[in-house]
Amino acid sequence: MAAMIVTAFGTLLLAVSVFCYEPDFHDHKYTRHPNWRLLPIEKCGKRANFTDDLSIRTIGGRVAELGQFPWMAEIVVKDYKGCDKHHCGGSIINDRYILTAAHCVYEPWFKVRLGEHTLSTCVDCTPDMRRCAPPAIDVDVEEVVVHPWFSSFNEHLKYDLALIRLKQPIYQFNDYIRPICLPTYAQDETSFENVLVESAGWGWTLPNLVGGSSDQLQTVRVPLLSEKTCNQLCAFYRLVKDLRWNWCDGYVDDNEICAGKLKGKGVCHGDSGGPLMTSANVPGRGPSTFLVGVVSRGIVGCEGGVPDVYMRVAKFVSWILDNIHD
């Protein structure tokens, strides 16, 4: 993905660890909100059952299958020649809104691309050409809502969240464009430590800022870490290596999530704003994918060894509901 100040590898798709929570799956403080009706509860987090085999090539991950992450949005800017350039990732949360990182929207102009997989092709197909997706769709931006406590002057990127309202609604979801579920479940996420989660994005695939954004959507699985473990790892790493300027100069709080600690596995520049995901068994609907984190920041060279940091979406569901509208 395109370079973003200090960030990590786009979308992490949560691993196969599935939790089930009944009988009151959704937290009542959300279901009673007047904008609850704007969340596509019956359509979110579902994807078609594709089984295409794709080659391995990412920072400890692999190329995503075509249609594996239909909620993936790409934020596109213009380069110095006036050509489209990948900038950040994002997640479709309903037919009108994309959730991304706040530091991704401080550009004079950008648009949102939906249904994208391979950046260099107009029509994306599986390697054997047996299945092709419809062409990606470009949508202009009508409004951007940045979290009021975010400051672009704060190097630690606290409250790094923004809502992008599309100028036109997504008129019909399909196998390649559909929303992810917000974490409206009534489960305590502190029980998720060491659960594998997955991320996806078009970020850099080589460490130490070698190369550039990936042409194909990538995915990687990493473990969720507790706030305590994350800060302990960071403190240790500061003692044994010069981290330069990066998130480890400031501690992670409960508005954030740490994920990944294995060398060579994680997010990188251009993945900012992308999703960190997990799966949950929803009563009456079966497994659905939930957005637990938004890629915010990581170690400058992307070489691994230190966890990446995501905004904890569960802490901001009320803010999201307060700021979306018809």
Residues annotated as catalytic (active site), given as ranges: 103, 160, 272
Nearest CA-CA partner of 18 in 224, 286, 313:
286
Tokens of 25: 């799956």
Please enumerate, as own/partner, the contacts of 166-169 that have beta carbons within 8 Å and a separation of 24 or more: 166/96, 166/97, 166/98, 166/112, 166/139, 166/140, 166/141, 166/142, 167/139, 167/140, 167/141, 167/142, 168/139, 168/140, 169/95, 169/96
Q: How far is CA 47 from CA 11, 65, 114, 177, 227, in A?
A: 16, 11, 15, 9, 31
Task: Give Cα 95 to chain centroid, integer Å.
Answer: 17
